[in-house]
Amino acid sequence: MIAVLTAVVLALAGAKTPHAAVLRFIENHSPADACAQLAPSYKMSIEKQYGPCLAGMRIQPKATHVRTYNEKITGSKATVDASYDASGRHFTELYSLERVHGSWLITGSKQLP
């Protein structure tokens, strides 16, 4: 029981790098952990458009061939490019992040051509 609790606490701990936050969101090993990578304001805007984060992450198609690159950090702000495949399509996105209380949170994303 203690091992399970420890694993849950570690999984929900904030991402220590922008790269880690984006990977944890895209790879979605746990819907709760994936949603925890989002800044509250960004999470609210996503929920307005797509519905509750947890429900969406539970049905989100599995991403494969995930790659993050071009991590750029300026003070407490960062950007990370990511590419991955899901549902037979290829996606390339730019993620914006902010460091809050020592953890990196995703504040936005946009698809790249």
Q: Where are the domains of the chain?
A: 2-111
CATH architecture of 2-111: Roll (3.10)
- pLDDT of 1: 61
Give which of 55, 4, 51, 1 is closest to 28, Cα–Cα: 55
Question: pTM for this structure?
Answer: 0.86
Q: Give the tens place of pLDDT for each residue, 31-46.
A: 999 999 999 999 999 9
User: Within a 10 A sphere around the Cβ of 87, how many other Cβ atoms?
Assistant: 9
- pLDDT of 2: 52
Q: Give the tens place of pLDDT for each residue, 64-95.
A: 999 999 999 999 999 999 999 999 999 999 99
> What average pLDDT does range 47-56 have in this prediction?
93
Contacts of 66 (CB under 8 A, 6+ apart): 23, 26, 27, 82, 83, 84
Give which of 44, 36, 37, 40 is closest to 106, Cα–Cα: 37
